[in-house]
């Protein structure tokens, strides 16, 4: 069975179930040829596993799990199912799909139900205290800062307290988490890595609510549009307001990604000791609230957004009710090994 290279989970065996489906069904073959999927549908019963995931991840996890024969995705909950026969019903907030063998593209026996839309409720897991970095795993810690609220338990920063732990990728220990230095004693800046010039890939030209000249985000116009669309799609699904790009947050993100790439390290604190709040304020953004996501190693907007979305702390920043603006950037340094691409998202609300 073919698999997407970016998902290495569990070796999947070929599925060989009885295959019948009306030709009028709305199912379509995935690009990998290994699964059939359809929007606005749900499969009932036979659940054996659930997880928080976006729709594409749901299908790929099922494809990689030898026990999984079909799945339903509904409001960010992925329900993995097993069995050769299943009932399909209409659900306008869900999608469903099933795995086909590598040699046959015919689907399973499906019974269509006349039931209306259904919803799934699964309790969310607590965020993991460990931090791991990879091209496909969830990125490092998140940072949140507010003038009025206490810092959160997930790598929170404040103007008065020392920041929590941050993650620093390195060739020797790509999954290690190290404590960040105290704000009262900033860490000395690591020596820059002798390298080729950094690559700021592309420019973006979309309008924002800042009067400053548009900074270089390192993202193409298409990538900027894709990331903003994904953020606002997630928020709209949860009944939250859409965000607008603010040039000052773009500039802060670009400066931080450049600093991270210069030193081949990922953390919420700059190499000169500046914290999230001081970096944002330095760009003239007089904030009431500001939060940040960082990541390293992911090569595309889809990859990094999937990693952030599947990490509870980062997803909380994407769905923060108190923010109104966003800026994001990436910088590439090919001399940083596996972690050659450094991403930053800064979210904020003006005072």
Given pLDDT bands bounded at 50, 70 and 90, which one contains residue 331? very high
Nearest Cα neighbor of 114 from 139, 87, 137 is: 87
Cβ atoms of 293 and 267 within 8 Å: the answer is no
What's the confidence (pLDDT) of residue 214? 59
What's the average model confidence in pLDDT over 304-324? 93
Residues 238 and 298 in one domain: yes
Kindly indicate the confidence band of residue 32, based on its pLDDT and cuts at 50, 70 and 90.
low
Instruction: Give the pLDDT of residue 284.
Output: 95
Residues 97 and 169 in one domain: no
Please tell me whether residues 165 and 274 are part of one structural domain: yes
Residues 177 and 38 in one domain: no
Cα–Cα distance measured from residue 333 to residue 349, given in angstroms and rounded to the nearest whole number: 31
Number of domains in the chain: 2
107-111, 126-130, 161-165, 258-262: least confidently modelled range? 126-130
Structure confidence by residue, pLDDT tens digits, 205-244: 333 343 445 578 899 999 999 999 999 999 999 999 999 9
Pair 113, 148 in one domain: no
Range with the poorest average pLDDT among 16-20, 40-44, 190-194, 235-239: 16-20
Distance CA 161, CA 198 (A): 33
- Same domain for 162 and 211, yes or no, is yes
Longest dimension (CA), the chain: 69
Cα–Cα distance for residue pair 197/54, rounded to 1 Å: 36
Q: Name the token pair of 180.
A: 């960040």
What is the pTM for the complete model shown?
Answer: 0.48
203 and 289 fall within a common domain: yes
Ramachandran bin of 188, using left for φ above 0, alpha for ψ from -120 to 50, beta for the remaining angles? beta
Candidates 300, 265, 268, 253; CA nearest to 136 is 300
Q: At 74, which CATH number?
A: 3.50.4.10
Task: Note whether 160 and 280 are same-domain residues.
Answer: yes
190 within a domain of the structure (yes/no): no
79 lies in the same domain as 32: yes
In a shared domain, residues 147 and 121:
no
User: What range does the domain containing 60 cover?
Assistant: 1-125
User: What pLDDT shows up at residue 287?
Assistant: 93
* CA separation, residue 97 to residues 62, 90, 146, 221 (Å): 9, 13, 42, 33
**What mean pLDDT is predicted for residues 164-172?**
34
- 302, 285, 299: which is closest to 250 by C-alpha? 285
Residues 282 and 173 in one domain: yes
């Amino acid at each position: 069975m073919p698999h997407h290279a970016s998902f290495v989970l569990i070796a999947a065996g070929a599925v060989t179930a009885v295959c019948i489906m009306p030709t009028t069904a709305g199912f379509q073959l995935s690009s990998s040829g290994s699964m059939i999927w359809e929007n606005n549908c749900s499969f009932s019963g036979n659940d054996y596993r659930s997880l928080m995931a976006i729709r594409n991840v749901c299908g790929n996890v099922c494809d990689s799990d030898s026990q999984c024969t079909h799945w339903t995705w509904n409001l960010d909950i992925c329900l993995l199912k097993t069995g050769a026969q299943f009932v399909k019903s209409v659900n306008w907030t869900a999608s469903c799909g099933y795995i086909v063998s590598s040699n046959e593209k015919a689907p399973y026996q499906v019974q269509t139900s006349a039931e209306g839309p259904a919803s799934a409720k699964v309790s969310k897991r607590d965020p993991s205290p460990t931090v791991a970095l990879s091209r496909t795993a969830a990125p490092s810690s998140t940072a949140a800062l507010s003038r009025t609220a206490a810092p959160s338990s997930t790598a929170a920063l404040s103007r008065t307290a020392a920041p929590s732990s941050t993650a620093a990728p390195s060739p020797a220990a790509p999954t290690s988490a190290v404590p960040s230095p105290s704000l009262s004693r900033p860490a000395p800046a690591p020596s820059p890595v002798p390298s080729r010039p950094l690559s700021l890939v592309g420019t973006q030209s979309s309008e924002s609510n800042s009067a400053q000249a548009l900074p270089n985000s390192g993202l193409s116009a298409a990538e900027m549009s894709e990331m903003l669309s994904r953020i606002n799609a997630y928020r709209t699904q949860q009944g939250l307001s859409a965000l607008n790009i603010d040039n000052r947050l773009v500039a802060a993100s670009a400066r931080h990604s450049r600093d991270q790439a210069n030193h081949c390290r990922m953390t919420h604190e700059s190499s000169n000791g500046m914290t999230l709040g001081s970096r944002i304020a330095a760009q003239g953004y007089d904030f009431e609230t500001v939060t940040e996501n960082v990541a390293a190693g992911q090569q595309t907007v889809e990859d990094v957004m999937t990693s952030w979305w599947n990490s509870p702390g980062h997803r909380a920043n994407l769905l923060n009710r108190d923010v109104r603006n966003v800026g994001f950037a990436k910088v590439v340094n090919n001399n940083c090994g596996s972690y050659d691409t450094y991403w930053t998202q800064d979210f904020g609300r003006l005072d």
